[in-house]
Structure formats: structure tokens, C-alpha cells
């Protein structure tokens, strides 16, 4: 099986993430053009229910599988790998059947009483069969990640998006004559097909170079898998808890914000508009670099797990340090651009720059969000998923307390929501760092903190100079693109000068190896 280094695996996942984000954007455009706002509304209303069911079905197993298989791989323990796969298949098989049935039975109640639109029944029923498909896919992804082979997962994600885009127009047009709700169900069916073809590809890759025969002595392995089940759930359940905390927080947030802004004397219409600007315009921009940090996190779990199994503490420190350095580097340029050019970016994208005050306030604090995901991955890889879950809970509780206090005050209003979100990000990241420091004596060296500050100052100064030279009036998309390319080139020079990217790391990139 083709195994990549940590950095090679990360780059493969980043490339796949960029392609799938672009294809996903095209898919959203196609769906919007074919179904209109009402159809997209039905489609989007059904998705949160699906995401919740998928979270419950997977039970956090992908991360747990990745870690435990990486440990077994380090010891060359094939029997353990087989046990992990068998236990995971049984657990996700039972949970997927249960939650698929629950979703289908509960769909009428969810559509009528929770989503308050009976037409969402059809998209909910149409998407139900995807649950067992995603469950099996998650096991195979965890398996490949654990063996540090990121190619099957990356290729499968691209295949899934290509199939979805290819089928969505066909099924939407096929069902649209029967009503907009059936068109939304058709769009959901294209999602199922994409996931199914993606799963078939991963099964093919698994069987092509398979060294483990799942069916051979299946039940004898299952009978001796009690300890393996405990090991998986020691990571899986806290990981699910962290995701559930995030899901519940996202569910409660708009309700709490609406109530607090009403107390502050802000009208419902204005409150909805302001919250839409914050969550619909600003947050997507702030979360844009996270596909890089998520790729790092996926590759980090098996890499640290393998080093932990071999008791190589020096490599563990190096990997965490490397992930923080790369995550910060990927987020710093986005932070500077979003802060300096907030008005221009928002005006070009949404036709209004009203939300620029939120973007300027939040962007510097969200730098810590970009290193948060790798820190959480490191905790999970070190069997510290439970502290990571508690850190997330504490951060979200503090966020809501601050949100209630500030947003209900007329002097803060919606700006209080932005402040609370920023403080939540800061607190969770610092708690993750504190957990790693307590267990592993890990800390970011002062010299690196100095380099981070210097990188920000150099990039800010260069960006401000470029802005003053080129932007005299209203900026267009071509001028902004030129400015961003120029600033990115200068940023790369700063990265090399400050050794954020080392010569050894460049040697791991195939198409650059011969030049360094």
C-alpha cells in the first residue's frame, strides 16, 4: 500500500479539498439556477437533520479507527487491524440501520412540526438511504488514514462531487414537473449517487491491494474484540461529544441571538438582517482557510499515533509544532487580506460592505481558529479526546454567557455576538494548548511567537503599501486579483526568509524535489 509522509499526505488532502470546494460551488450554482430560492430552501432545511443523523451514526469512529490502525501498523499487528475493521463494521452497521429507520419514521414529524414545512418530507425521505453508505465510507476512510495513504480518500471526494454535479441537473429536471419538493428530493438523490460511487471506488481500492481478509474467521475475531471495542470508544465517544456540542451550539445560537437582540430593543427585521450579515457573509470568509487546517488534522492523527505507539516523543513535539506553523502560515495571509480589503471583498461578493466592521473585528482573533483543529487532532491522537471535548464545552458555555450579556445590551447588540464568537474561539484554542502543555509539556517556543508577529507585521505593512498605491477609487475584481497575487508572492518570500517553510519540507513535495 502506498504510504505518504505527513506533509505529502497533507498536500494531497489540500489539493482534493480545493477541487471539491470548487466543484461544490458549481453544484450550488446549478441547484440554485434549476430550483430557485424556494427549492434551495427546502434542500437546505433538510441537510441539518441529515448531518445530525450522520454524526450519531458514525459515533466518532473515523478518528478512532485512524488512530488505532496507525498504532497497530507501527507494531505490524495485522490481527489488530482486522479486529478494528470488524468491530467498526458491526457497530456502524447496527447504528446506521437504527438511525436510517428512525429518520424515515420520524421524517413526517420533523417536516411538519420542527421544520414547519410539510414539503421537506420528500427531501428527508430521499436522503435517508445515504446513512449506511456514509457509515461504511467513514470506516474505509479511517482505515486508509490510519495506514497514512490519503490518496483513496482524496480521489473518492473528487469522484463524489463529479457524480453529484453530473446527476443533479438530470434528477431535478426529471422531478420538477411534479413539484418543487420533488425537485429537492431529486437533488438529494444525486447526493446519494455521488456517495455510492465514491464508496464503490474505496471498496475497489481496499480489495485491490488488500492484505487482510475480512470474512476469514470473522466471528472468532469478533468474539475476542471486547478490548478493541473499548479502545475505539475511548476516542470515538468524546469525539462525538465534541461534534454534538458544536451541533447543539449552532442550533441554539440563532434562537439565543434573536431573544437577546429583542431585549436590546432591536426589531426582528433588523436583527435577522444583522445576523444574516454576520453568519452568511462574514463567517464563510473567515472559515475559508480551514480546509487546509482540516487536511493537516486528518494527516496529523495517524502520524502522531504512530509516533506515540513507538514512544517517539521528540517526533510528536515536532509534528504538533509543524502543524501549528503551517496552519498559522495558511491563516495569516487570509487574515491580513480580509482585514485590509474587507470593504472591497464584501462589496464585490455581496454588493454591500455593511458587514466589514464584523470582519475587521473578528479576523485577527480567528487566527487562533486555524491552529485549533490541528491541536484537537493532536489531543485525539494522544488518547486525550475527553479533555478536547471538555475544552469545547467550556468554550461554548463561555461564548453563550458573553453573548447573552453583551447582545442584550443596546450599546453592543449584534457586535456583542461577534465578540462572543471571537472569545469562544480564543478560549477553546488556549485550553487545547494548556491540555497539551499539561500532559506533554508542549508549548510554542518564544522565538516562533516572535516570527509569527514579525510575519504579520511585514505582511500588513506590504499589504497597506500596495493598497495605497493601487486602490484610489472603486476596485474591480481584476485589480483585486492582481493585488492578492502580488501580496501572496511577497508573503511567500517572507515565509522562506523566516523559515516557516524549511528546505527539508520542500524536499517532500514531488515536483519541487529536483529544484532544492
Domain assignment present for residue 451? The answer is: yes
Q: Which residues contact 291 (CB under 8 A, 6 or more apart)?
A: 14, 17, 18, 21
- Shared domain for 303 and 363, answered yes or no, is yes
Domain count, the chain: 3
Q: Are 338 and 359 in contact (CB under 8 A)?
A: yes
435 and 450 together in one domain: no
201 in Cβ contact with 138 (< 8 Å): no
- Report CA torsion sign: 384, 388, 391, 393: negative
* Cα gap 297→295, rounded to integer Å: 5
HSE-up (13 A, CA, CB side) for residue 274: 21
Instruction: Let me know if residue 239 belongs to a domain.
Output: no
Residue 279 makes CB contacts below 8 A (sequence gap 6+) with 254
Task: Give the Cα separation of 181 and 118 in Å (integer).
Answer: 9
Question: CA distances (Å), 174 to each of 118, 187, 407, 412, in order?
Answer: 21, 10, 47, 50
Residue 229 lies in a domain: no
Predicted confidence pLDDT, tens digits, the chain (516 residues): 566 677 777 788 888 888 887 887 777 777 777 776 667 666 766 777 777 777 777 777 888 888 888 888 888 877 788 888 888 888 888 888 888 888 888 888 877 776 666 777 878 888 788 888 888 888 888 888 888 888 888 888 889 888 888 888 888 888 888 887 788 888 888 888 888 999 999 888 888 766 666 555 555 655 556 777 787 888 788 877 887 788 778 767 777 888 888 888 888 777 777 777 787 778 888 888 888 888 888 888 888 888 888 888 888 888 888 888 888 888 899 999 999 998 888 888 777 788 888 899 999 999 999 889 889 888 888 888 888 889 999 999 999 999 999 988 888 888 998 999 999 999 999 999 999 988 888 888 888 889 999 999 999 999 999 988 887 777 778 888 899 999 999 998 998 888 877 666 666 555 445 444
- Give the separation between CA 98 and CA 104, rounded to whole angstroms: 10
Angle between helices 78-109 and 6-58 (to 10 degrees): 50
Length of the chain: 516
Q: Which residue has the cell 493585488?
A: 483
Residues 390, 311, single domain; the answer is yes
Q: Which residues contact 374 (CB under 8 A, 6 or more apart)?
A: 293, 296, 297, 300, 320, 323, 324, 327
* Beta carbons of 52 and 247 less than 8 angstroms apart: yes
Domain membership of residue 186 as a residue range: 6-224
Last residue of a domain, one of 442, 476, 493: 442
- Report phi then psi at 505, rounded to 5: -70, -40
Q: Is residue 234 part of a domain?
A: no
Amino acid at each position: 500500500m502506498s504510504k505518504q509522509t505527513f506533509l505529502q499526505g497533507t498536500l494531497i488532502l489540500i489539493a482534493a479539498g480545493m477541487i471539491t470546494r470548487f466543484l461544490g460551488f458549481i453544484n450550488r450554482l446549478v441547484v440554485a439556477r434549476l430550483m430557485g430560492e424556494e427549492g434551495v430552501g427546502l434542500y437546505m432545511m433538510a441537510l441539518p437533520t441529515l448531518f445530525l443523523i450522520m454524526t450519531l451514526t458514525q459515533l466518532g469512529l473515523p478518528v478512532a479507527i485512524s488512530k488505532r490502525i496507525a498504532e497497530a501498523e507501527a507494531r505490524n499487528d495485522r490481527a489488530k487491524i482486522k479486529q478494528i475493521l470488524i468491530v467498526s463494521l458491526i457497530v456502524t452497521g447496527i447504528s446506521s440501520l437504527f438511525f436510517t429507520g428512525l429518520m424515515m419514521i420520524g421524517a413526517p414529524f420533523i417536516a411538519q412540526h420542527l421544520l414547519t414545512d410539510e414539503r421537506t418530507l420528500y427531501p428527508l425521505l430521499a436522503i435517508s438511504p445515504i446513512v449506511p453508505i456514509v457509515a461504511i465510507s467513514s470506516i474505509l476512510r479511517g482505515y486508509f488514514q490510519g495506514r497514512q495513504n490519503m490518496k483513496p480518500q482524496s480521489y473518492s471526494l473528487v469522484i463524489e462531487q463529479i457524480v453529484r454535479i453530473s446527476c443533479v441537473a438530470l434528477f431535478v429536471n426529471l422531478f420538477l414537473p411534479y413539484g418543487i419538493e420533488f425537485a429537492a428530493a431529486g437533488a438529494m438523490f444525486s447526493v446519494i449517487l455521488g456517495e455510492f460511487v465514491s464508496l464503490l471506488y474505496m471498496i475497489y481500492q481496499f480489495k485491490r491491494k488488500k492484505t487482510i481478509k475480512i470474512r476469514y474467521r470473522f466471528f472468532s475475531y469478533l468474539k475476542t474484540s471486547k478490548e478493541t471495542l473499548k479502545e475505539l470508544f475511548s476516542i470515538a465517544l468524546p469525539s462525538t461529544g465534541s461534534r454534538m456540542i458544536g451541533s447543539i451550539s449552532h442550533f441554539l445560537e440563532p434562537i439565543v441571538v434573536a431573544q437577546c437582540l429583542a431585549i436590546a430593543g432591536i426589531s426582528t427585521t433588523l436583527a435577522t438582517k444583522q445576523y444574516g450579515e454576520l453568519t452568511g457573509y462574514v463567517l464563510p470568509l473567515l472559515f475559508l482557510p480551514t480546509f487546509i487546517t482540516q487536511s493537516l488534522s486528518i494527516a496529523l492523527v495517524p502520524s502522531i499515533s504512530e509516533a506515540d505507539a513507538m514512544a517517539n516523543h521528540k517526533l510528536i513535539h515536532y509534528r504538533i509544532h509543524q502543524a501549528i506553523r503551517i496552519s498559522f502560515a495558511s491563516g495569516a495571509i487570509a487574515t491580513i487580506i480580509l482585514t485590509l480589503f474587507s470593504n472591497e471583498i464584501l462589496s464585490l461578493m455581496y454588493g454591500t460592505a455593511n458587514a466589514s466592521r464584523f470582519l475587521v473585528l473578528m479576523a485577527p482573533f480567528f487566527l487562533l481558529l486555524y491552529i485549533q483543529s490541528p491541536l484537537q487532532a493532536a489531543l485525539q491522537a494522544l488518547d486525550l479526546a475527553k479533555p478536547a471535548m471538555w475544552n469545547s464545552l467550556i468554550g461554548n458555555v463561555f461564548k453563550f454567557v458573553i453573548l447573552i450579556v453583551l447582545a442584550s445590551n443596546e450599546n453592543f447588540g449584534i457586535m456583542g455576538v461577534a465578540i462572543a464568537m471571537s472569545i469562544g474561539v480564543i478560549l477553546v484554542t488556549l485550553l487545547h494548548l494548556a491540555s497539551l502543555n499539561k500532559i506533554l509539556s508542549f508549548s510554542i517556543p518564544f522565538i516562533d511567537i516572535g516570527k509569527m508577529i514579525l510575519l504579520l507585521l511585514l505582511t500588513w505593512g506590504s499589504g497597506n503599501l500596495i493598497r495605497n498605491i493601487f486602490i484610489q477609487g472603486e476596485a474591480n475584481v481584476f485589480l483585486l486579483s492582481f493585488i492578492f497575487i502580488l501580496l501572496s508572492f511577497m508573503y511567500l518570500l517572507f515565509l522562506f526568509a523566516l523559515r516557516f517553510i524549511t528546505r527539508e519540507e520542500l524536499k517532500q513535495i514531488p515536483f519541487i524535489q529536483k529544484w532544492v
